[in-house]
Chain A
Amino acid sequence: QKEVEQNSGPLSVPEGAIASLNCTYSDRVSQSFFWYRQYSGKSPELIMSIYSNGDKEDGRFTAQLNKASQYVSLLIRDSQPSDSATYLCAVNLRPGSARQLTFGSGTQLTVLP
């Protein structure tokens, strides 16, 4: 089993719809969870971080965390063509001084005009 697993996609949604991206992780001691957006040919950009169970909203983005189920998700409301990118889930599986993150393989999202 992969340590951080994402639906590989690709995921296509129409403009204005809600895009839902999912991620599961292997280690219950994980405390920090992140979503990165990576446009084709570019480096990943941090868009959301979440540390506590529940929802965290930032503009059109909502991150949801359920530590009991070892599940973190990203919802994008009112999806725009500019949201088309690969979304990477990252988890600190082994909390410690090195602050290492383990990344999922990413979900490619396409928002259709």
Chain B
Amino acid sequence: SQTIHQWPATLVQPVGSPLSLECTVEGTSNPNLYWYRQAAGRGLQLLFYSVGIGQISSEVPQNLSASRPQDRQFILSSKKLLLSDSGFYLCAWGLAGDEQYFGPGTRLTVT
């Protein structure tokens, strides 16, 4: 069966510091991968998606970036965090159907 991992689970970072969040999927090949952010009390905002290694599409212009160095690895990065980057970051995977399955998430607080 498929499993999706995210780490770290929680993170507290000062404004202006860099960020690296990692997501890996097990038990499947060539998945579509997604990064979402959920601000407190808000809906899910799609940040990036990827249909293959090195293929990244950005949905919202911002100071975040994403990379997919391996088939089942998806990384979310920032060079300098802003207060507004605080939120619950969710990685999701999907295959040929439209279903998406979420990882456990990383709760980021920028102070």
**In the assembled complex, A32 has its CB within 8 A of some CB on chain B:** yes
Given the interface contacts A88-B44, A99-B94, A100-B46, does A46 sit within 8 Å of B32 by beta carbon?
Answer: no
Residue of B nearest to A31 (CB): B98
B interface, size bucket: 20 to 34
Q: Which 9 A-B pairs have the closest CB atoms?
A: A32-B98, A105-B43, A103-B44, A43-B102, A43-B105, A92-B98, A99-B98, A44-B102, A99-B94
Which of B43, B49, B104 is A98 in contact with, Cβ under 8 Å?
Answer: B49
A20–B42 Cα distance when bound, in Å, is 21
Please give the distance in Å from A46's CB to the nearest CB on chain B. 6
A101–B97 Cα distance when bound, in Å, is 11
A95–B98 Cα distance when bound, in Å, is 9
**Count of A-B residue pairs with CB < 8 Å:** 52
Residues of A within 8 A of B43 (CB): 88, 103-106
Residues of A within 8 A of B46 (CB): 100-102
Residues A98 and B42 in contact, CB atoms below 8 Å apart = no
Residues B105 and A99 in contact, CB atoms below 8 Å apart = no
A45–B104 Cα distance when bound, in Å, is 10
Residue of B nearest to A44 (CB): B102
**In the assembled complex, B90 has its CB within 8 A of some CB on chain A:** yes
**In the assembled complex, A97 has its CB within 8 A of some CB on chain B:** yes
**In the assembled complex, A49 has its CB within 8 A of some CB on chain B:** yes
